[in-house]
């Protein structure tokens, strides 16, 4: 049986945007924290550490029904449901205080040797504690559209606080970079509804990241963003976002 784990979090002012909504950056941080707590609860980290290996995130797919707001309490549940020789698949579910599912994330992980930076095979002993199912036929990988001219872009200088203990930009930071493609006024008009992001190559300290975006018309007056994040002329990550017009809460529409 698959082992699941839950952790609760309270949304503070520091976790929110100007509209008092939880940011994607913070949502991903909480999900990764819940995964780490689950690993520690099971004692599974000792197996990875004994092989001198670390988990890393390859792809994440965030889907949003609605964002929690300041002072809300949410529960994040994680389900490490399956794996194959090279990838492990873990779902995340965020619930509000009434038990309504409001945000989901489907994440793909791999295991890497931090010295050689080489991906290694996932063995059954690494996954035994989780009770995950072995998949002989893994899911097909998402195809991301290329960002082509004309595109809009902005540049971001990697900061010291963006770097994690693996000595590269933390995976959650990429969600903030993509979220910031929207200008302040646009965020007042549109709300992020989904964000699919794949990590292609780690970004070292002090690099300048260029975020390029093609904007397309989406359904019901929304927008679709196609994003490419590069540094030193090397593609670091790709993403696709969908944005929906905000409802006018003052008149109930």
Q: What is the CATH number of domain 1-139?
A: 3.10.129.10
In 3D space, the residue among 4, 32, 135, 33 whose CA is nearest the CA of residue 82 turns out to be: 135
- pLDDT tens track for 136-175: 887 888 899 999 999 999 999 999 999 998 899 999 999 9
Does the pLDDT at position 252 exceed 80?
A: no
User: Where are the domains positioned within the chain?
Assistant: 1-139, 142-253
The 8-class DSSP code of residue 29 comes to H
d(CA 9, CA 30): 8
Could you tell me whether strands 73-83 and 133-134 are parallel, antiparallel, or unpaired per DSSP bridges? parallel
d(CA 59, CA 72): 28
Q: Do residues 197 and 221 make contact, with C-beta atoms less than 8 angstroms apart?
A: no
d(CA 23, CA 67): 8
Mean pLDDT of 62-79: 98
Higher pLDDT, 252 or 85: 85
Q: Determine if the peptide bond prior to 237 is cis (ω within 30°).
A: no
Does the pLDDT at position 58 exceed 50?
A: yes
Please give the model's pTM, rounded to 2 decimal places: 0.93
The answer to whether the 1-139 and 142-253 domains have the same CATH topology is: yes
At the topology level, CATH places domain 142-253 in: Thiol Ester Dehydrase; Chain A (3.10.129)
d(CA 155, CA 181): 10
- pLDDT tens track for 238-248: 999 999 999 86
Mean pLDDT of 32-38: 96
Structure confidence at residue 251 (pLDDT): 40
d(CA 3, CA 129): 8
Structure confidence at residue 253 (pLDDT): 44
């Amino acid at each position: 049986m698959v082992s699941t784990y839950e952790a609760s979090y309270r949304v503070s002012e520091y976790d929110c945007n100007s509209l008092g909504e939880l940011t994607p950056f913070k949502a991903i941080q909480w999900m990764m924290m819940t995964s780490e707590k689950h690993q520690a609860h099971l004692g599974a980290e000792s197996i990875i550490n004994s092989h001198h290996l670390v988990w890393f995130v390859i792809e994440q797919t965030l889907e949003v029904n609605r964002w929690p707001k300041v002072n809300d309490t949410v529960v994040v549940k994680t389900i490490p449901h399956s794996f194959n020789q090279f990838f492990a698949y873990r779902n995340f579910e965020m619930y509000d205080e009434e038990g309504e599912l409001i945000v989901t994330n489907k994440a793909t992980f791999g295991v890497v040797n931090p010295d050689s930076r080489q991906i290694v095979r996932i063995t059954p002993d690494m996954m035994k504690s989780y009770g995950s199912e072995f998949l002989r036929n893994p899911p097909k990988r998402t195809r991301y559209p290329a960002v082509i001219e004309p595109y809009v872009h902005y540049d971001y200088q990697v900061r010291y606080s963006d770097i994690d203990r693996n000595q590269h930009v933390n995976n959650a930071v990429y969600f903030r970079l993509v979220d910031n493609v929207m200008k302040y006024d646009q965020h007042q008009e549109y709300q992020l509804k989904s964000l699919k992001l794949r990590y292609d190559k780690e970004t070292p300290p002090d690099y300048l990241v260029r975020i390029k975006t093609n904007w397309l018309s989406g359904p019901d007056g929304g927008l679709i963003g196609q994003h490419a994040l590069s540094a030193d002329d090397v593609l670091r990550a790709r993403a696709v976002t969908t944005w929906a017009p905000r409802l006018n809460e003052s008149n109930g529409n």
